[in-house]
């Protein structure tokens, strides 16, 4: 096991073991607890309060405390070790196919966390739970595809940098996950077709587009599927005056994001 893998297993635990979902989120923390007198409370995922459904947009879910501070450091350490961002001009890295171990661990944790909140998605519980599919953070057909994700993009944004409004390319399947690290930001969602477009309207002003702001803190996870994926654009505009949350302009630092998607099959 190399250093990076060891650190990752230390923080996330070994996802190949057969412990229950709740234990898998922080098994190593619990081991440490046994060794120390002044034990911190283990961080387990709360079954009901962890996920936030963005009510204006079907298929948009947020888990603010997806990665603990230690897990965030571990992921950042792994990303740093990849050596992708050693030069200031490098701000994006992509991987297709097998994900690096640390990204696979994130992918496994996403599946576990969705299941934890929606036990009815687990085939083991078929017929026992009857939850509405729209109450699930990820639809079951996406949750059980293999692999869950096979494409990774890591973006590094300096203060002031963001990403223009877009719908992710159709070459990717439904079901996208974004993990935020280092700096908080506001991601804005705009309905497709509602965005301001001068030329298409003969220069006449459009009514202002409905923009739904979503506050992404470090360690948070966003899941985007269905309407949120196909009928809404997302953007991060970090120009002055735009990154406002609860009336306050956010203090910007470098932001790293990890985006996981699945390529469409070409038969
Ligand atoms: O950096 C982010 O948080 C979003 C990235 C994104 O939307 C994309 O790569 O398509
Ligand atoms: Fe995107």
Q: 44 — alpha (psi -120 to 50), left (phi > 0) or beta?
A: beta
The kind and range of the H/E element at 73 are: helix 69-82
Cα 37 to middle of ligand 1, angstroms: 42
Ligand minimally distant from the alpha carbon of residue 93 = 1
CB-ligand 1 contact for 151 (6 Å cutoff): no
pTM metric for this prediction: 0.79
pLDDT of 14 > 60? The answer is no
List beta partners, residue 233.
Answer: 190
Which residue has better confidence, 150 or 19? Answer: 150
Atom from ligand 1 closest to the CA of residue 162: 1
Sign of CA dihedral 118, 67, 191, 94: negative
pLDDT of 66 > 50? The answer is yes
Please choose, from the candidates 231, 239, 240, 184, the residue with its C-alpha nearest in 3D space to the C-alpha of residue 212. Answer: 231
State the Cα angle at 65 between 213 and 160, rounded to 5°.
Answer: 45
Q: Which CATH fold would you assign to the domain 3-11+52-261?
A: Jelly Rolls (2.60.120)
What pLDDT is stored for residue 15 in this prediction?
Answer: 39
Name which of 81-95, 105-119, 158-172, 250-264 the model is least confident about: 105-119
CB-ligand 1 contact for 194 (6 Å cutoff): no
Provide the percentage of residues in the chain whose pLDDT is more than 90: 64
Cα 168 to middle of ligand 2, angstroms: 5
Ligand minimally distant from the alpha carbon of residue 178 = 1
Cα 85 to middle of ligand 1, angstroms: 17
Q: What is the pLDDT of residues 91-133, one digit of tens each?
A: 999 999 999 999 999 999 999 999 988 766 666 655 554 555 5
Which residue ranges make up each domain of the chain?
3-11+52-261
Q: What's the rounded mean pLDDT across residues 194-218?
A: 74
């Amino acid at each position: 096991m190399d250093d990076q893998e060891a650190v990752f297993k230390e923080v996330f635990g070994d996802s190949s073991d057969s412990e229950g979902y709740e234990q898998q989120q922080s098994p190593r923390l619990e081991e440490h607890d046994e060794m120390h007198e002044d034990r911190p409370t283990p961080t387990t995922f709360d079954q009901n309060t962890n996920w936030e459904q963005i009510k204006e947009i079907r298929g948009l879910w947020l888990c603010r405390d997806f990665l603990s501070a230690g897990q965030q450091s571990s992921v950042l350490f792994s990303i740093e070790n990849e050596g992708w961002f050693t030069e200031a001009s490098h701000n994006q890295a992509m991987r297709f196919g097998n994900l690096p171990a640390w990204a696979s661990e994130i992918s496994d944790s996403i599946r576990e966390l969705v299941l934890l909140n929606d036990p009815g998605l687990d085939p083991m519980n078929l017929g026992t739970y009857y939850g509405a599919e729209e109450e699930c953070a990820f639809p079951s057909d996406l949750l059980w595809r293999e692999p869950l994700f096979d494409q990774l993009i890591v973006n590094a944004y300096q203060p002031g940098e963001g990403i223009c409004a877009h719908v992710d390319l159709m070459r990717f399947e439904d079901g996208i996950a974004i993990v935020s690290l280092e700096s908080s930001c506001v991601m804005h969602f705009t309905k497709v077709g509602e965005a301001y477009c001068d030329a298409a309207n003969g220069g006449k002003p459009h009514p202002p587009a409905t923009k739904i702001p979503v506050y992404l803190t470090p360690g948070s996870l966003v899941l985007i599927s269905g309407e949120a994926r196909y009928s809404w654009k997302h953007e991060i505009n970090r120009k002055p005056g735009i990154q406002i949350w609860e009336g306050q302009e956010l203090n910007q630092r470098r932001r790293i994001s990890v985006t996981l998607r699945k390529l469409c099959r070409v038969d």
